[in-house]
């Protein structure tokens, strides 16, 4: 496995989808200028007619939109960011110019 490093990137694509009426997923693909990487996160929906609390997906999407400075997932495409990643994992996504980061593992640690 390659070492963890911070890279400049452009968001090549961003999508939100509902999978099998059970999972809501956000997928982000990053272009590093010659190479790329995609990262996705899914959260289960126990009952499609009821909001599951805490709403981790809303938190995740909101943090990414706020960090990048846009108000919809569709506007993420083409935006510059920094990505703290290794060969197989994206750990953090950062603002392109400011020292502002979103540590994706915050959700797993229950820090929402």
Which DSSP symbol is given to 2? P
Phi-psi region at 69: left, alpha or beta (left = phi > 0; alpha = psi -120 to 50): left
> Please, what's the largest Cα pairwise distance for the chain?
43
CATH 1.10.1760 fits 5-108, yes or no: no
9 burial via Cβ count (<10 Å: 0-12, 13-18, 19+): buried
C-alpha closest to that of 40 among 2, 75, 88: 88
Give pLDDT tens digits for 31-78. 999 899 998 887 776 566 665 655 778 888 899 999 999 999 999 999
Higher-pLDDT residue of 105, 73: 73
Classify residue 11 by burial, with Cβ atoms within 10 Å: 0-12, 13-18, 19+. buried
pTM reported for the whole predicted model: 0.83
């Amino acid at each position: 496995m390659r070492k963890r490093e911070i890279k400049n990137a452009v968001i090549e694509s961003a999508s939100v989808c509902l999978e099998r009426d059970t999972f809501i997923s956000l997928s982000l693909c990053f272009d590093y200028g010659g190479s790329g990487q995609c990262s996705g996160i899914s959260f289960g929906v126990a009952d499609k007619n009821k909001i599951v609390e805490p709403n981790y997906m809303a938190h995740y999407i909101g943090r990414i939109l706020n960090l990048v400075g846009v108000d919809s997932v569709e506007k993420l495409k083409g935006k510059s960011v920094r990505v703290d990643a290794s060969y197989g994992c994206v750990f953090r996504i950062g603002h392109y110019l400011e020292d502002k980061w979103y540590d994706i593992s915050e959700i797993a640690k229950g820090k929402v």
